[in-house]
Amino acid sequence: MPTAPTLTEQRDELVRLLQDPEFDGDVDELLQRADAVTAQIDQAQQRAARLRALQGAQLPAGDPQPQPGQRQHPGMGPDDRGTPDPVTAAEAFVRSAALTAFRERGCRGESGAVEFRAPVSGAVTTGTVPQQNTRVPGIIPNNPDLPLLVANLFDQQTSDGSTLEYLRDTSGPQSTWNKAAVVPEGDTKPMTGPFTFDTITTTLKTVAHWVPITRQAADDNGQLMGYINGRLSYGLDYKRDRETLVGNGTTEMQGVLTTPGIGAYQPGVGSTDVKLITVRKARTQAELAMYPPDAVVMNPIDWQDIQLDEDANGSFRVITSVLDAGAATRLWGLTVVTTVAMTQGTALLGGFRMGATLWERQGITILMTDSHADFFVKNTLVILAERRANLAVHTPQCFVKITFAAATS
């Protein structure tokens, strides 16, 4: 008994008839058949798409049904803003195949320690432990909650190598940067400049540190992520902030404040300008240099002085919302970043995104092993975190170093 033609066979037959210029049958009937087959194919494609989506949405047996917008488990889905998983190095680490494999193998190998690599904005290396009962970690996290926003002010790019080479504008004051003019027909057009540049060749600098952790604590995903995010990643972020401000540019990353050619503003001798006024005048200096600033970085004590500054009537000169802690911190239209990485009495104002680029390779790398000192016999592991980065300050004129006047009694 002959079988009915498949959709594919029906489609191919209709295509052949529609393309045949000598077809002498009922064209209207042919078009109706083509519409019907097209509708059946669309329906089959939609059904297959729904099936794939349903299969991808299935949860492991016993898992609770997540509420709309709720993450199923740390490291197992997008965050509340829809950022694709994994959202942090710690989450990528605990869900990596490398960590799973090592837990299954019990951190045992021919050499006593086994290492694997998996991507976490770069690479992850891990050698860990078999399943154990949860135990209080060997050290209790005790980290200050400091703002770490300086690095976010810069343009950020990813490097494929370890050497960084870029051009730094050394033209100095931009009094001749723009010679554009209205030129009569036939006259010579003006040349803008001159500009001078230095070729800067440096390397990405490695920032790293490690902490000890018990095997039992390392076997608990929540505690492991707490160590990685709360201690290791946080410490790297703070050090990166400090380096981008005051790094010496040779054995350390390049800091903006140590880069030749940045501007400087300091109240004159005998000036009574308070810090609030000093920042405003420094902004004017940056604008006159034709590089409009977008942010200012200062020590928390200096920002406190500005916020608590009072006029002769006892009223605060800076109006801030003391109730809304989440409100954006701004001064004279500039984003304010406070950090103890900045020395008290000094501030940095500038067009951060225009003036410098933060280059980073691989993001944060996490390594874990018991191959250190006598840690193996003490049931203790080492978690090490590191990153490679450097700052290219290609337009120093975008920045102004502010030195506040000494307080007078």
Cβ neighbors of 396 (< 8 A, separation 6 or more) are 168, 169, 170, 256, 259, 260, 261, 262, 355
Residues 199 and 329 in one domain: yes
- Please give the structure tokens belonging to residue 403: 């030195």
Domain ranges, residue 13 = 9-20+31-49
The CA distance from 89 to 29, in Å, is: 61
Count of domains observed in the chain: 2
Contact predicate 144/384, CB 8 Å: no
Q: Which helix (H) or strand (E) holds 296?
A: strand 295-298
The CA distance from 389 to 232, in Å, is: 16
Q: What is the pLDDT at residue 194?
A: 76
Chain-centroid distance, C-alpha 305: 31
Residue with tokens 């004129």: 397
Residue 82 lies in a domain: no
Query: Which of 219, 209, 252 lies closest to 106, judged by CA?
Result: 219
Cα dihedral 308, 313, 315, 317, rounded to 10, equals: -70
Maximum CA pair distance of the chain? 108
Residues 203 and 349 in one domain: yes
CATH number of 236's domain = 3.30.2400.10
Amino acid in position 147: P
The CA distance from 246 to 206, in Å, is: 16
Query: Which of 288, 265, 406, 273 lies closest to 349, judged by CA?
Result: 265
Residue 123 lies in a domain: no
Residue 299 lies in a domain: yes
> What's the pTM value of the predicted model, to 2 decimals?
0.64
Residue 26 lies in a domain: no
Residue 408 lies in a domain: no
Residue 278 lies in a domain: yes
Could you give the 3-state DSSP secondary structure of residue 38?
helix
Residues 45 and 154 in one domain: no
The CA distance from 391 to 62, in Å, is: 48
- Please give the structure tokens belonging to residue 375: 């840690």
Torsions phi, psi for 118 (to 5 deg): -145, 150
Residue 59 lies in a domain: no
Where do runs of H (alpha helix) occur along 20-88?
A: 27-57
The CA distance from 145 to 265, in Å, is: 31
Q: What is the pLDDT at residue 105?
A: 57
Q: What is the pLDDT at residue 98?
A: 66
Q: What is the pLDDT at residue 33?
A: 87
Q: What is the pLDDT at residue 125?
A: 41
Q: What is the pLDDT at residue 183?
A: 94
Query: Which of 105, 98, 151 lies closest to 126, judged by CA?
Result: 98
Q: What is the pLDDT at residue 243?
A: 94
Strands 346-350 and 197-203: unpaired
- Per-residue pLDDT of the chain (409 residues), as tens digits, is 566 788 888 888 888 888 888 888 888 888 888 888 888 888 888 887 777 777 666 555 544 454 544 444 444 445 444 555 555 667 777 776 666 666 665 554 333 333 333 333 333 344 443 344 434 444 444 444 445 579 989 999 888 888 899 889 888 765 566 788 999 999 999 888 778 888 999 999 999 998 888 877 777 777 788 778 778 888 888 899 999 999 999 999 999 999 999 999 999 887 888 899 999 999 999 998 888 999 999 999 999 998 888 877 777 777 654 444 555 688 888 999 999 889 999 999 999 999 999 999 877 888 888 777 887 777 788 888 899 999 999 999 999 999 998 765 5
Residues 261 and 375 in one domain: yes
Residues 160 and 307 in one domain: yes
Cβ neighbors of 346 (< 8 A, separation 6 or more) are 257, 298, 299, 401, 402, 403, 404
Query: Which of 154, 370, 408, 398 lies closest to 267, judged by CA?
Result: 408
Chain-centroid distance, C-alpha 193: 36
Residue 113 lies in a domain: no
Residue with tokens 């006029």: 311
Query: Which of 350, 353, 334, 357 lies closest to 401, judged by CA?
Result: 350
In eight-state DSSP terms, residue 74 is T
Contact predicate 300/338, CB 8 Å: yes
Residue with tokens 């008839």: 17
- Please give the structure tokens belonging to residue 331: 């001064």
